[in-house]
């Protein structure tokens, strides 16, 4: 990878596989980074550093205001009485079965998976994945319970962005009927152009020079411990599957609660 003999995409897939992530497991699906921060320009300028997301910071720390709120949450748990093991920055995860299914909801078999996870029906329309720009704003700035990253399909599969099956996904509060995913202006409404430019962004010089910082957060030494605290990158203890010894938990109710938590909210990859 350092010699540029494999692409950034191939390197990320290799790391995901090493860390136990697989297309066969929605709960441990391959995780990919948001690489862009520009979803409003008419043209995409890949030579401008401001076009890109800060890959050295997790999604919860993309803005200073949001970062401070998560640090405050971490410190408040430290001061409070009770179970100190729950001290963390994030109580939600960047990759889970519901996040994967929500991104791919317009394609089978993910449509059925999403509905089964939602209790048999689609979610409230305003919460459905309907716009790349609004999803970025939610995950990077607006929603304190949303720190989701992306999945590999964002870099090669235009079909998941169109509602070719004509599913009735509902109507938003502003009257918008959900159909195809709304794309940034620079994609000109064309899913193929979006994928092409998004893949170019992933393979760009800027991302190539900074991708290792994101890898440190997700797969490397900033994944847990003091380095993770410093990087504002700690998650609920239940998300660290390899750190949880379920065999020592005798109470079946607590054990089933933890297993349910993990299956619903995601798992940290194995440290590579």
The domains of the chain, with CATH numbers, are 8-263 (1.10.1540.10)
Dist CA 32 CA 26 (whole Å): 14
Rounded mean pLDDT, 69-82: 78
- pLDDT at residue 84 in the model: 47
pLDDT in tens, 36-66: 999 999 999 999 999 999 999 999 999 999 9
Dist CA 137 CA 102 (whole Å): 16
pTM: 0.92
- pLDDT at residue 256 in the model: 76
Dist CA 87 CA 193 (whole Å): 43
pLDDT higher than 60, residue 104? yes
Coil/strand/helix, residue 128: coil
For 246, phi then psi, to 5°, come to: -65, -25
pLDDT in tens, 183-240: 999 999 999 999 999 999 999 999 999 999 999 999 999 999 999 999 999 998 888 8
For 171, phi then psi, to 5°, come to: -130, 130
Rounded mean pLDDT, 115-127: 87
Predicted confidence band of residue 83 (pLDDT cuts 50, 70, 90): low
Side-chain-facing half-sphere of 118: CA atoms under 13 Å: 20
- pLDDT at residue 123 in the model: 84
- The number of beta carbons lying within 10 Å of the beta carbon of residue 239 is 24
pLDDT in tens, 143-158: 999 999 999 999 999 9
For 169, phi then psi, to 5°, come to: -90, -5
Rounded mean pLDDT, 234-260: 74
Tell me how far the alpha carbon of residue 118 is from its chain's centroid. Answer: 19
Rounded mean pLDDT, 172-186: 94
Q: Is the CA virtual torsion 206, 219, 39, 160 positive or negative?
A: positive
- Most confident region among 49-58, 119-128, 238-247 by mean pLDDT: 49-58
Please, what's the b/e burial string for 88-118 (b: 16 or more CB within 10 A of its CB; e: otherwise)? bbbbbbbbbbbbbbbbbbbbeebbebbbebb
């Amino acid at each position: 990878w350092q010699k540029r003999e494999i692409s950034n995409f191939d390197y990320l897939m290799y790391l995901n596989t090493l860390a136990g992530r697989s297309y066969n497991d929605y709960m441990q699906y391959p995780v990919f980074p948001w690489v862009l921060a520009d979803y409003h320009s008419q043209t995409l300028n890949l030579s401008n550093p401001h076009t890109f997301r800060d890959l050295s910071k997790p999604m919860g720390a993309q803005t200073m205001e949001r970062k401070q709120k998560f640090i405050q949450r971490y410190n408040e748990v430290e001061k409070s009485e009770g179970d100190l093991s729950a001290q963390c920055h994030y109580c939600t995860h960047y990759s889970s079965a519901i996040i994967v299914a929500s991104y791919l909801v317009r394609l089978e078999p993910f449509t059925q998976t999403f509905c089964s996870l939602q209790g048999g029906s689609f979610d409230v329309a305003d919460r459905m994945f309907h716009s790349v720009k609004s999803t970025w704003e939610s995950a990077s700035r607006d929603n304190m319970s949303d720190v989701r990253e992306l999945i590999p399909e964002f870099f090669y599969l235009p079909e998941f962005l169109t509602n070719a099956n004509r599913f009735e996904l509902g109507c938003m509060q502003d009257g918008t009927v959900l159909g195809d995913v709304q794309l940034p202006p620079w994609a000109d409404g064309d899913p193929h152009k979006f994928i092409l430019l998004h893949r170019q962004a992933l393979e760009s010089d800027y991302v190539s020079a900074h991708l290792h910082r994101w890898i440190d957060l997700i797969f490397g030494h900033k994944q847990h411990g003091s380095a993770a605290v410093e990087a504002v990158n700690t998650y609920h203890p239940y998300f660290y599957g390899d750190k949880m010894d379920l065999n020592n938990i005798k109470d079946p109710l607590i054990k089933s609660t933890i297993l349910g938590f993990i299956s619903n909210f995601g798992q940290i990859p194995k440290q590579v």
